[in-house]
Structure 1
Amino acid sequence: MYKIPESVLVVIYTEDMQVLMMERADKADYWQSVTGSKDFPDEALQVTAMREVQEETGIVVADQPGAVPLSHLSDWRVANVYEIYPVWRHRYAPGVTKNTEHVFGLLVPNAISVTLAPREHVQYRWLPYREAADLCFSPSNAEAILQLPHHLAG
């Protein structure tokens, strides 16, 4: 089964603009925010974002006790179209070379617990937003993080 070339990028951050960064398990020194593709073509982007956040970090986004409220997940209304890195093209149908990435932000409490999916990430760090952007391997991820002050200002 091939990946769908439509994905989400979720910048997870705290009120004081600390950003969660995770190192990929399949590529050493590749640091990123939460990313992931739709599971099926009609999956709502918000659902994709919620699912990927939970799968990759263990953070539950829902209107229920113990979860990050759904109102803390915001669609930043940014869509990046980019060339899929050749190293990952085998995951997509033959001939698919571009992906559309939709950017979301997720405001979380400072002391939130993170549980990484070991098949996806090997370690994480909380960093001030500019340092987090500098650490990103993906230009679109870095740009999204640099937009954080704009989104916090509202």
Structure 2
Amino acid sequence: MVRFKIPQSVLVVIHTPALEVLLINRADAPGFWQSVTGSRARDDEPLEETAVREVFEETGIAARAGVLRDWGLENVYQIYPRWRHRYAEGVTHNTEHVFGLQVPAGTEVRLDPREHTGFQWLPWRAAADACFSPSNAEAILLLPQFAE
């Protein structure tokens, strides 16, 4: 049985108290820098659980050790054609729920090389400029409003 992605996802802006933002480089799209993203594993999975799981899978960071906040923002966007095959036929849009995760400076990052090939910590404005996704860049630009 083919298992399609659920078109409900999270975007987690991981940052330090000094507003340095973690960006990771996609393995399947070199040069595509982004924050942690990922789809719900099941329809009834709480979004916070999705965020915690995706942060750990993609970076090795235990989100509950930091300060995880639901920013109460949603982005609805058209799924890039190159990734539509991952979704059921006819699914063209995804709803992304935005979270922030504050971690201490120097937090260790362990990437899954099948998903990401590199990471960098950048000041928030530079991180927004480096993102390939407009919704990701917009979320990072809102960071000062949501950070402690």
Kindly report which structure 2 residues correspond to 1:133-152, keeping only aligned pairs within 5 A, or say none. Answer: 133-152=128-147
* Match of residue 59, structure 1, among 58, 61, 64: 61
> Following the alignment from structure 1 to structure 2, what is the Cα–Cα distance between the partners of residues 33 and 55?
13
Secondary structure at 1:150's aligned position in 2? Answer: helix
1:111, distance to aligned residue in structure 2 (A):
1.4
> Following the alignment from structure 1 to structure 2, what is the Cα–Cα distance between the partners of residues 26 and 83?
19
Kindly report which structure 2 residues correspond to 1:1-154, keeping only aligned pairs within 5 A, or say none. Answer: 1-62=3-64, 68-69=65-66, 72-152=67-147
User: After TM superposition, which residue ranges in structure 1, 4 or more long, deviate above 6 angstroms?
Assistant: none
Percent identity, aligned pairs only, is: 61
CA-to-partner distance for each residue in 1:21-73, whole Å, 9 max, x for gaps?
Answer: 011000010000000000000000000000000000000123xxxxx14xx00
TM-score by length of 1: 0.93
> Following the alignment from structure 1 to structure 2, what is the Cα–Cα distance between the partners of residues 131 and 55?
25
Aligned-partner residue type, residue 120 of structure 2: R
Structure 2 segments unaligned to the other structure (5+ residues): none
CA-to-partner distance for each residue in 1:67-93, whole Å, 9 max, x for gaps?
Answer: x14xx0000000000000000000000
TM-score by length of 2: 0.97
> Following the alignment from structure 1 to structure 2, what is the Cα–Cα distance between the partners of residues 107 and 18?
10
Structure 1 segments unaligned to the other structure (5+ residues): 63-67
1:121, distance to aligned residue in structure 2 (A):
0.5
1:117, distance to aligned residue in structure 2 (A):
1.0
Aligned-partner residue type, residue 79 of structure 2: I
Aligned length: 146
